[in-house]
Amino acid sequence: MAYTSIQISPETREMLSRLKTSKRETYDELLRMLIDLVPSGDDEGEYNDEFRASLLRSLSDIKHGRTYSVEEVKKQLGIE
């Protein structure tokens, strides 16, 4: 199997390292497990890769408070 290198910050590497279940587990195995956590579809069908990536971005936005409440959006749009 051919491998490639990727650039990540030392902080990201440390976070990944803490997720490893054993010292022998590779970062490739860990990243594949993390990717497997992203839903591949629902009762209506399979999600494409772009949609799956947007799910991850959305969850990150929610976790980091980068969202607006319905009331805030209504106010910005001048609905209320």
Residues 51 and 65 in one domain: yes
Whether residue 63 is predicted with pLDDT greater than 80 in this model: the reply is: yes
- For position 19, what pLDDT does the model report? 96
Residues 44 and 80 in one domain: yes
Q: What is the tally of structural domains in the chain?
A: 2
| pTM as predicted | 0.72
Q: What is the pLDDT of residues 14-58, one digit of tens each?
A: 999 999 999 999 999 999 999 999 999 999 999 999 999 999 999
Quickly tell me which residue has 């440390």 as its tokens.
Answer: 14
Three-class SS of the chain: CCCCCCCCCHHHHHHHHHHCCCCCCCHHHHHHHHHHCCCCEECCEECCHHHHHHHHHHHHHHHCCCCCCHHHHHHHHCCC
Domain that holds residue 34: 9-38
